[in-house]
Amino acid sequence: MSRSARVVPAVTSALVALALTACGGVHGTPGGSGVHDPYFPKSGNGGYDVSHYDLKLDYTPGDRPRLTGTATLTARATKDLSAFDLDLEGLDVDEVTVEGKRARFNRAGQELTVRPHDDLDEDETFRVTVRYSGTPKTITDPDGSKEGWLRTADGALALGEPTGSMAWFPGNNHPSDKASYDITVTVPKGLQAVSNGELTGERSSGGRTTFSWHTAEPMASYVATVAVGHYDISRSIVGKDRLPVYVAVDPTQVKAGRKVLAKIPEIMDWEEYNFGPYPFSSTGAIVDRPEDAEYALETQTRPVFPGAPDTETLVHELAHQWYGDSVTPKTWRDMWLNEGFATYAEWLWDEDHDGDTAQQTFDDLYRHGEDDHEDLWAFPPARPSSAAHISDEPVYLRGAMVLQKIRQTVGDDTFYDIIQGWAAAHRHGNADTDEFTAYVEKMAPQKDFDGIWKDWLYGEGKPDHP
């Protein structure tokens, strides 16, 4: 639904505009309707930076599921603004206010354009509240996988990589704009609602239960999640810092997942030793049924798994808490900084637990990649061929091979300094490939990395030498 201002006579309108210009009242311009990401140019928006999301959701599953939401975003204008955009796919917008005043708005595809009653000044902090409702959508990615709001046998599962979060809340839907979150979800009594961060409240009234979750550390929208359903909940404490662990498992997966999920304390201890201090204030997992999703995802503090995970997948998704969730890519072109690191964590785990060494895994891929992984050399990890291929094997496996080449070049001591230092230098921030290569060269200035960058990171086809 679009709201429009009433028409005023042209002369009167011109006089008003002249008067406002004279006193400095008209000064803003619209914010951008995208951040020109190389693969998802419509994602994100220009002109402001979000610092906090307060999402109040009410969801009723079933044959005619319905989500009612109120999203309040606290943001800072990065320029003088007369209007700005939010990303929201589907759902009906009932009302928008900016600083408590009703704002005009209109919809065009995923863009919700908001025109505040008063222009916003550069560096001004403001709150925009969007009230919305409807049946949230499932979005099909360019690679054919499903994300957004996924209906499950007993509820729903919200997954956001790369763009799915706009299916259930309005926001600046790009990894370059991270924020803290409060997510409150009300569901029929008997169901549970699990999200990121720490559970700060649970109360029941009138046949419904409300769960309140708080994420203090900055989080990209694509790793925000909500899982609604029946879950077996376990809580524990791990490590010398007494980190809270919250694990939610679908009852059908409890038996199959018990042994692997019991390794969370061991894996967390091993990853802290290798990657540095854990960057968040809690950890855990959400395990749904295999048919509920097609993939695991590193949702912040609480990765999601479609069915009981194996050890390697659990290692991978928990490693993402450092590489991807804390150090988040600036654009989707930098996806290998997520997946190459998390895949390499699997190789290191095997190496430290009586499996193949990382070098043996590398050698096997180099020798047999064409046979076992026919797309391994399809494109370089730092230049996926299109949005449909940002999650393909070159990003994961060849990305990990880049890290092994760095390790070969600098030796173990400097290599671990590099991967720990990288996680520390960009903790809770964003970074891109150029920053990573510059960081590596700074950490080992006596070494020559030109061949690695040219042949392994950006080079087309299979490099001539392993």
pLDDT tens across 179-237, in order?
999 999 999 999 999 999 999 999 999 999 999 999 999 999 999 999 999 999 999 99
Give the pLDDT confidence score for residue 218 in this predicted structure. 98
> Cα separation of 299 and 285, whole Å?
9
With 0.85 as the threshold, say if the pTM is over it: yes
Q: Is the peptide bond before 162 cis (omega within 30 degrees of 0)?
A: yes
Give the pLDDT confidence score for residue 26 in this predicted structure. 56
CA triple 273-457-418, angle to 5 deg? 25
To the nearest 10°, report the CA torsion of 81, 82, 88, 89. -130
Give the residues of the chain that fall short of pLDDT 50: 1-25
